[in-house]
Each structure stands twice: as C-alpha cells, then as structure tokens.
Structure 1
Amino acid sequence: MASERPAPVRRPWWADDLAHAAMFLTRLPVPSPVRADRPLMHAGWAFPLIGLVTGALGGAALWIAAWAGLPLLAAALCALAVTALITGALHEDGLADLADGFGGAGTKARKVEIMRDSRVGSYGVLALILATGLKAAALASIAVAAPWLAAVAFTAAQILGRTAILPIAYFLAPATADGLGTGAGRPKAVTTGLCIALGTLLAFSLLPGIGFVAALPAAALAAVATALLARRQIGGYTGDVLGGSEQVVECLVLLALSALPAAAAGFLWPL
C-alpha cells in the first residue's frame, strides 16, 4: 500500500498576503506557493511593511556608505540604488511612464497608449532625473546632522510611499478595462483603512514629534495631487499611476523632512 503524502502546510492568511505583496513589489525571495486566487489589492494592507523592509535595507546602505567615508551625496545615491535593485525599479518605471503619458498632448486613449509603451521619452527621463536628484539631495542634507537620521527618514518615506498606493486605488476608478491596475483588483474599505493605519503607525514610530507633523501632510498632499491629476488626465488610475505616486510621495516626504531646522534633528528622531 502506497504511503499517503502529507498535506501541504498552509500559511496563515496574513503570511500569504505579506508574501504576495513582497513577490509583486520586490525581487526578494518569497517562500512558495503564493495564493493566486486573491487579488493583489486585497493584500495591500501589507504594502507599508514592504516599505519598511526596502527602506531599512536602503537606509542601512546609506549609513554604511557614510561610515565608510563616502561623501554624503554618494551615500544617499547608494540607498537609492539598493532600493531600485530590490524592487526592480518598479516604481521608477511607473513614474517615467506617467510623466511621458501626462506630459504629451492628446486624448485619454493616446495618453494611456503612451504610458504602455516600453520606450522612455523625454518627459520620463526628466522625471527620473528630477526625482533621483531631489531625493538624493534631501537625504544628503539630512545626513549632515547624522547619517542615521537620513536612514530613518528614508525608511519612513518608503513606508509612506507604499501606503499611498492603496487609497488612490480605492478612491479612483480604473482608467482602462485591462492592464495591471485593473488586474490587481479593487481594494476593500477595510483593507485600505488597515493599510493607512499601519503606514501611519510605522511612520510615527520612526518620526515622533515635528518629523511626523511634517512628513504625514507631505505624503497626503503628494497622494491627493497625483490622484487628482490622474483623474483629470485619464479618468482614473493605472499601474503606472500607482507606481508613479509612490515616487512622488517619497520625494515630498524627504523634501519636507530636509526643510526642518537642522538644530531640531537631535529630537526629531530620538535614539
């Protein structure tokens, strides 16, 4: 009599959601199998946790580079390079496509067509240069006070950037009947609320005091502005809109933190 095979061990739902989010948003190894019957947006509550991981890894790269004696701007670029490698530049690609589509004239259909084109145009190149430059300059400015402050600020920006994805997808309608934005499903109200609460809590734990007061409105402003622009330009969201919004939020959060008085850095993010 043939021996029966043991039933596969099933992970808890939260572990499945976390693995699903990590598999899509990063290139990190994920234990298989991952549930394929649950839309990505239903696992979106875990997006802030993915931001915590990518931000911590990028922030560690910044701190190590600064400790090794590299110029602060080079250390900041190391952080951006590490996170781009971890994510496969997923969000940067979305920002470039969004800039190309929204920058060009034409109908909604033409804008969507441009965004789906794998080639990067002049608007996309400029958007990537500006985003990278602004983030690197902001991180280097914060790192003047202490490199670990820049690492913490970078982690918080990564968390808030990924937190913004779900509410945009919840409040806007898909701009097309197909594509990644539609295929990922629509987020539920409870999932969106949990994502916002988790992202806010993580950001507050890293940025108590004035840092949190500066970062949260900056993230909200960036998310709302991107969502309104997307609704005006193409009538809703696509995968590129969601990816591009993450980059816009990161930029504004880091700029807001870098604009705070340097003298306050010692108590913005206490050890």
Structure 2
Amino acid sequence: MHKNDTSASWVWDIPLALVLLTRLPLPRLPDHVFARQAAGVWAFPVVGLVVGGLACGIGAVLLSLGLPPAAVAGVMLAVLIMTTGAMHEDGLADTADGLWGGFTRERRLEIMKDSHIGTYGVLTLFVVQLLRFTGIAGLIATGGLWSVLLAPVYSRALMPVLMCAMPNARGSGLSQSVGAPRVLTCGIGLALSIGFAVVWLGTLALWPLLISSLVVVGLALTARAKIGGQTGDILGASQQLAEVSLLLTLLALI
C-alpha cells in the first residue's frame, strides 16, 4: 500500500459500494479499497441512483415504444432485482422467516442463516414484490415514471443508519465485515438522498421520506426486540420495506 492511500481515497467509495451491493460487471478494485467499507457507506444511495436510473431509463424507452404501464413496471422491477442479484429480496425473506419462525434469539438467527426459505419468507416476498410492482405501475400510469428513482436511492440511505444505530446481532456476515460506520458518514448519505429527493420532487417527497423512515424504525425496533440488533438480512429487509412504502406513499399523493 502506498503512503498516500493508507485509508484509501473517498473517490473509491462509489465503486466499492457498487461492488458490495450490486452484481454489475465492474473491474477488480485494489485490495486496499476494501479497508474503507465502513467509511464508504455514504455512497449507498448512489448505488440506488445507478440501479434505479438504469431501471427508469429502460422503462422510459419501453414506454415510448408503446408498452403498457404494467409490462414496463414488470421489466423495471426485474432490472432492480437482477442488478443487485436479489440480495435485498433474499434478506427480506430470511428476516420474515427468522423473526417470526423462531421462539428464541438463537433459533431466529439460526433460521435467518439457513439458505432454505420458509412459509413466512415466501408469503412476505410475494406480497412485497406485488406491492412494489403495483407502486411502480401506478406511478407510470400517472406519468410519474421517473419519480420511481427516489425509492431505490432513499431506501439505501437508511441501511447505514441501522448499521450505525444498532449492534450487529450475529458477529459475522456482510454487515459485520463492513463494520459500524461513523454517525457523520451515515449523515452524509442521508443528507445527500434527502437533498436529491427535494430537488427531484420538491416538497412532494417529504411525506414518502417520512413514512418509509417510520417503517424502517418499526423494523429496527422489532429486530432489536427479537434478535438484539441488525444483520445483513435485516439491512436487506429495511431496503425492501422502505422502497415499497415510499412507492406506495408517493402513489397516494400523486
């Protein structure tokens, strides 16, 4: 490692976040960059901007070709899922199975670590994806296709907040390997995403931001009560629940 990159420059934070949270084909990053994982979580909303921008861009092209809103919404949802390797969806299913499928903290964590999906996971995954599709399709039908972009951005800004505010419940996994970010780091990502929301949609964005934040607070309190903190699965579930609640709140206001 060179003397001038002992902590790695912040310019690596965005590609690092993309490597951590997506399956996009990216060049191999220098090894020293991965020492900056906790410091780079401010860039998580930028990942949302990239994957959301890709989904909205493809959706806009398909809409201009005459495809109905439902078909466009289906493709956009598929893009959002494929670009992240269904990472957050997997976390949502594991969270549902674990938090409601076990009676002790240890058993809940064991269930969440199990690669098999249970009834709670299947049902939760189905309902949330159906609601995501409904929200996206509804916004497209009302002429708000590009307003969808706010959901993947802000939902990823809330993930570092949970990492900062809650202890890791397991002591292993992706969340543990990244580490606990500083409050300032989380604040930067949150401020950037809120600023983007206000610039993008004006005051219309405020209620969706508030509602989605409250949903994540509810998840955080539940996770603290049932397993004593957060895990990578909890972070994934928070992204999914924040995104769908933001989409539906925005749809209700437009």
Structure 2 gaps of 5+ residues are: none
Deviations 1:21-61 (A, max 9, x none): 11010112333333355252221000011110111011112
Counterpart position of 1:220:
213
Mapping of 1:96-107 within 5 angstroms? 96-107=93-104
**Bigger CA drift: 217-226 or 84-93?**
217-226
From 173, 192, 208, give the equivalent of 2:202: 208
Q: Distance in 1 between matches of 2:136 and 2:202?
A: 18
Separation in structure 1 between the aligned mates of residue 96 and residue 66 of structure 2, nearest angstrom: 36
Residue 14 of structure 1 and its aligned partner are, at CA, apart by 2.0
Which amino acid is the alignment partner of residue 228 of structure 2? G
Matched, 1:139 2:119: no
Query: Which residue of structure 2 lines up, in the alignment, with residue 14 of structure 1?
Result: 10
1:218 offset after TM fit, Å?
1.7
Correspondence for 1:46: 43
In the TM superposition, what whole-angstrom CA distance separates every residue of 1:148-173 from its partner, at most 9, and x where no partner exists? x22x2221000011001011111111
Letter of the 1:196 partner, please give it.
L
> What is the alpha-carbon distance in structure 2 between the residues aligned to residue 53 and residue 174 of structure 1?
28
Count matched residues.
250
1:256 aligns with 2:244: no
Map of 1:129 onto structure 2: 126
Are 2:188 and 1:191 equivalent residues in the alignment? no
Deviations for 1:224-264, whole angstroms, at most 9, x for unmatched residues?
Answer: 11111111110100000001100000010000001014xxx
Structure 1 residue ranges, 4+ long, deviating more than 4 angstroms after superposition? 9-12
Task: Write out per-residue CA displacement over residues 162-215 of structure 1, whole angstroms, 9 at most, x where no aligned residue.
Answer: 0010111111111022222212111111111111111111222211122x1222
Whether the 8 Å contact between 1:170 and 1:186 is mirrored in structure 2 is yes
Preserved CA contact (<8 Å) 1:111 1:234: yes
Q: Does the aligned pair in 1 maintain the 2:216–2:242 contact within 8 Å?
A: yes
Partners of 1:229 and 1:172 in 2: how far apart?
12
Residue from 13, 23, 27 that aligns with 2:23: 27
1:99 aligned partner, one-letter code: A
Could you say which residue in structure 2 is the equivalent of 1:55? 52
Two-structure CA RMSD over aligned residues (Å): 1.9
Equivalent position of 1:64 in the other structure: 61
Which letter maps to 2:173? G
The one-character-per-residue Cα deviations of 1:83-118 (angstroms, maximum 9, x if unpaired) are: 111111111111011111112131111001111111
Shift of 1:15: 2.1
Structure with larger Rg:
1
Q: TM-score, normalised by structure 2?
A: 0.92
Do the aligned partners of 1:19 and 1:31 also contact (CA within 8 Å) in 2? Answer: no
Q: Measure, in 1, the Cα distance between the counterparts of 2:26 and 2:215.
A: 31
Aligned counterparts of 1:42 and 1:12: Cα–Cα separation in 2: 10
The CA distance in 1 between the partners of 2:51 and 2:202, in whole Å, is: 21
1:240 maps to what in 2?
233
Higher helix share: 2
- Percent identity at matched positions? 36
CA separation in 1, counterparts of 2:8 and 2:37? Answer: 16
Within a 5 Å distance, the mapping from 1:145-164 to structure 2 comes to 145-146=142-143, 149-150=144-145, 152-164=146-158
Aligned equivalents of 1:167 and 1:33: distance in 2?
A: 25
Contact 2:139 2:148 in 1 (8 A): no
